[in-house]
Structure 1
């Protein structure tokens, strides 16, 4: 709110110092002050998703999928005007598929991690609607 008032006062004060202008025009500035966005709850800020032990025999070919592990991120204090919340995951991906996240260096070779939101793989280059 302070920024909005400062901008408004700046616009008014600059107009009072202007000389006579022969080619006058109107500049209209519009904006909207909204409630703040959602906050990630404390229990969702820093946590570990524990993956199960997977026998190597269950992941022999490209496209083999292991057991799904579910997790959630809880948002709180969302303003009443929030229609959708968006989330973005970042990480190193397999070069040919931005929805396959590389595992840590030195870990098993040939495996990747995929995060799904509503049964759709989350692409590291996009922002997903929740």
Structure 2
């Protein structure tokens, strides 16, 4: 009889244990999955943006910029309820400032400059869009879409003494985000 009571007590306790973890709230998720929100123009999907040849003497301290290249991402055929598009740029991060894109590794004549990264700015050319962070967003008119404009510049991650000349190439990917 004692064994039956012990077994019943253990079974009852194990059934009541999950009840001790009562929920304190509920989180509901909303959203939608679309076949295609907008189409990126083929000429915008892969592009080369020249930043020019700049002198390292233009970078007296960390955060100085030089060279500039315009990035235009054209989108079209947008769903009618899409009214704003933002962009997130990703890629290898620069040593010394992870907000910036690292220069492409190489050796010899292809060795990258040291102490420099590539900064991407909003269309005002002064507001930095850190890597991995969504841009402010641009209003678009569906279904036509529009142009999303950004600027790229070399930015120093250190003072002039820590900078060495070299290759200034880099490569980033981008992902669109819609209202």
TM-score over 0.5 for the pair = yes
* Structure (1 or 2) with the larger CA radius of gyration: 2
Partner of 1:75: 75
Name which structure has the greater RCO, CA cutoff 8 Å, separation 6+: 2
Partner of 1:114: 119
Asked if the contact 1:93/1:102 (under 8 Å) is kept, the reply is: yes
> Moved runs in structure 1, 4+ residues, more than 6 A?
30-35
Q: TM-score, normalised by structure 1?
A: 0.65
Tell me, in whole angstroms, the C-alpha distance in 2 between the residues paired with 1:122 and 1:100.
9
Tell me, in whole angstroms, the C-alpha distance in 2 between the residues paired with 1:102 and 1:35.
33
- Following superposition, the deviation at residue 35 of structure 1 comes to 7.8
Asked if the contact 1:99/1:115 (under 8 Å) is kept, the reply is: no
Unpaired runs of 5+ in structure 1?
1-29
How many residues of Structure 1 are paired with residues of Structure 2 in the alignment?
A: 101
Tell me, in whole angstroms, the C-alpha distance in 1 between the residues paired with 2:97 and 2:41.
31
Q: How do 1:95-114 residues align onto structure 2 when only pairs under 5 Å count?
A: 97-105=97-105, 106-114=111-119
Going from structure 1 to structure 2, the CA distance change for 1:34 and 1:93 (only over 3 Å counts) comes to closer
Q: How do 1:4-15 residues align onto structure 2 when only pairs under 5 Å count?
A: none
Q: TM-score, normalised by structure 2?
A: 0.49
- Following superposition, the deviation at residue 116 of structure 1 comes to 0.5
Structure with greater strand percent: 2
